[in-house]
Structure 1
């Protein structure tokens, strides 16, 4: 069917919007859907329809496609960083609509380059899924938890049979009355791994039900915890736990930020530590989520997981007249295969970093991406703290017309 026929079929009630791909190619279906929506809203979706990839490429990522949302993309870098996985000094694409963000992050990255570069390391890799089970009471809960602790290898065999890449690292039981939560933690290699962890955990749950009194209620019991602020992710981590740090000489701080190491350290303590504690925040940082979100948009990550990406602590101290600064992100969930990373624009962005697809060894590309994001986010922290310490925040936005 052509576009006109699809539009008529929907308007006559013969087809629903989500059924169009069964009667035409994906681009024709999107064009028909776009016309129906535009006419209903009495508007134009001309720009929405100007996407630069076959709609077929997006079928695993979207339903009822009408086009694409185009977000401006810039780059920061090159990132001078000593990492375990990162190779060379790559640029990092950032997609955002927030004026001054890329300029600010880039200023921070430039200051780190002038100081000889930053250091970054992935400290932990564990994607989690935590099902909740029903038991009769605490006696059965204790029995179930004990069995799980003694039989992690059996659960690993069942879970890993569902995937050629994922590895079960640990299962931690949590008991609340007649509820038993099991927090499964996986090494998902270069995949972000949420779907992998879910499918693997489902298989392991069948073993738990067969061997214990527990009955599965929900495959996700929110102790994972996915796409929600959660202290468990701040403490235990989820996805990649990654840290970056740098020592900036006092002269570099003065040149790039117009202030002193002591002033930045004080601003960090009073704002990021004391202020965040008073607010009851889970993130003790200036705006790490800004860089994380922009990097996620650019490189095809699950954008909603910026919630966990904001689980970060920034520290700053004066060392012999120089500034030591660090940023530790407890739960940065990134991948270089699967999901949105396959989309053409996002795949090109991953090529810029040099981490598209699976790494050798497996997991190294996702580690490198995590190190790059952490380094850039540290640059963003330094730049904002510098602007605050020098009272330049408002004037910088005014100067850039934001």
Structure 2
């Protein structure tokens, strides 16, 4: 039987390359051999990295050259009381992070939201995008290509949907820049985040475009998608799920639990999240929505690089006058591009699968897409709670003292 020591020796002698080890042993032995090579090369003890709880073979679709696992502390907040289009009831939301005080802050916000009767959340738009770029000779050929695309959506849908049993082409939006033609395909990918699904489907559609128009494909992704990069098109048109959550909190509850007033929170939001973000040239107008999204992504097996699009969030806070002379706080978050799924990718890993089970949202929903919609709505309510808590701390000037008290 081939041992990790045997494989490590062969790597050091140049007989094997480090990415070839799974061809000669099981996945766990291959990972152990890589650790031996690294320990010999660096002098670092990799005992903790080696301490993972799942068979390495289960991670094969998610990582190459595996040596172990990165353990991020995971906590839970909640219950999050959600009146959603797909989510309905109370949910405990697992969050994985290394930022002290984050979960305490989100939990405070969720407690306030729960006391106020819960938050409302809705997915308002759904479409995973892929935007190839084509070369043409000039504007005339660009116009010819765009015209053909506009008149032949059914042919493109047939080609794209032939590659998947679940994906549905929702539309194709053309953009022309000189002799470049970008086609932004949008898909309903049901409960999958759907990036791979959209890519494979779009490749099939591109073959039809090349056959029927003067356009030649240059790149299957032309960055008009736009994946894992700050982009105004995602902030405006959305990508993945566009989801909004809101809540109305009485002024008395704001004063009792957040130790400030609706007017003070609204002013802090306007001056910080709106004016300050505009002055900075930001695409997102929020306090720290990506904080909650990132922690939820790590816990539930989402593509963590897509947190950058979630930072597009816009937070609104308004003081609403009541007839009795008091005021209530209206609070909302709108996440234009939240790319989440409950099947595929990292959601299949054991830890992340358990986290989705805590939410009751592991796997495909009935109807298809409902689990991913519900996950988006719960995350949005978590982000709303985080915004409420942080703006409350800022407007009451308790932010620094809260961190000091928690020893962070």
What TM bracket, shorter-length normalisation?
over 0.9
Pairing 1:178-217 to 2, within 5 Å after superposition: 178-217=179-218
Q: CA deviation at 1:87?
A: 3.7
Q: Shift of the alpha carbon at 1:180?
A: 0.2
Find the counterpart in structure 2 of residue 32 from structure 1. 33
The equivalent of 1:352 in structure 2 is 358
Structure 1 match to 2:55? 54
Do residues 386 (structure 1) and 399 (structure 2) align? no
Spell out the pairing of 1:94-109 with structure 2 (5 A cutoff).
94-109=95-110
- The CA deviation string for residues 343-380 of structure 1, in whole angstroms up to 9 with x for no partner, is 00000000011110000000000000000000000000
Give CA deviations for 1:298-327 in whole Å, capped at 9, x if unaligned: 000000000001111000001120000000
2:291 is matched with 290
Partner Cα separation in structure 2 for residue 39 and residue 251 of structure 1: 63
Partner of 2:331: 325
- TM-score normalised according to structure 2 size: 0.98
Give me the whole-angstrom Cα distance separating, in 2, the residues matched to 1:124 and 1:75: 28
- CA distance, structure 2, for counterparts of residue 87 and residue 27 of structure 1: 41
Secondary structure of 1:56's aligned partner? helix
Q: Look up the SS of the partner of 1:183 in the other structure.
A: strand
CA distance in 1, matches of 2:371, 2:96: 20
Secondary structure in 2 aligned to 1:89?
Answer: strand
The yes-or-no answer on 1:376 pairing with 2:388 is no
Q: Which residue of 1 aligns with 2:324?
A: none
Paired residues, number: 402
- Deviations for 1:141-177, whole angstroms, at most 9, x for unmatched residues? 0110111111111100000000000000000000000
Between the aligned partners of 1:366 and 1:38, the Cα distance in structure 2 is 41
Please list every run of 5 or more consecutive structure 1 residues that lacks an aligned counterpart in the other structure.
none
Aligned to 1:299: 300
Tell me, in whole angstroms, the C-alpha distance in 2 between the residues paired with 1:382 and 1:41.
Answer: 46
Q: Tell me the SS of whatever aligns to 2:382.
A: helix
1:253 equivalent in structure 2: 254
CA offset digits 1:118-159 (Å, max 9, x no partner): 000000000000000000000100110111111111100000
After the TM superposition, which residues 85-234 of structure 1 pair with which residues of structure 2 at under 5 Å, given as runs?
Answer: 85-234=86-235
Mapped to 2, the partners of 1:337 and 1:8 lie a distance apart of 39
What SS is found at the alignment partner of 1:119? strand
For 2:88 and 2:16, the matched residues in 1 are separated by: 51
Distance in 1, matches of 2:39 and 2:273, equals 45
Asked if structure 1 preserves the Cα contact closer than 8 Å seen for 2:254 and 2:262, the reply is yes
Q: Give, in whole Å, the separation in 2 of the partners of 1:7 and 1:87.
A: 52
Q: TM-score, normalised by structure 1?
A: 0.99
The SS at the match of 1:91 is strand
Q: Is residue 5–residue 36 contact of structure 2 (8 Å, CA) maintained in 1?
A: no
How much does 1:293 deviate? 0.3
Give me the whole-angstrom Cα distance separating, in 1, the residues matched to 2:256 and 2:162. 56
Residue-by-residue CA offset, 1:6-44 (whole Å, 9 max, x unaligned)? 111111111111111111111111111111112211111
Instruction: Check if 1:338 corresponds to 2:344.
Output: yes
1:399 and 2:405 are equivalent in the alignment = yes
> In structure 2, the residue corresponding to 1:88 is in which secondary structure?
strand
Is the CA contact (8 Å cut-off) linking 2:134 and 2:215 kept in structure 1?
yes
Shift of 1:5: 0.7
| Equivalent residues of 2:72, 2:96 under 8 A apart | yes
Describe the SS at the equivalent of 1:78: strand
Gaps of 5+ in 2: 322-326
CA distance in 2, matches of 1:111, 1:80: 10
**Deviation at 1:88?**
2.6
- Runs of 4+ aligned residues of structure 1 deviating over 6 Å after TM superposition are none
CA RMSD of aligned residues (A): 0.6
What residue number does 1:308 align with? 309
Does residue 240 of structure 1 match 2:254?
A: no
Most deviating of 68-77 and 247-256: 247-256
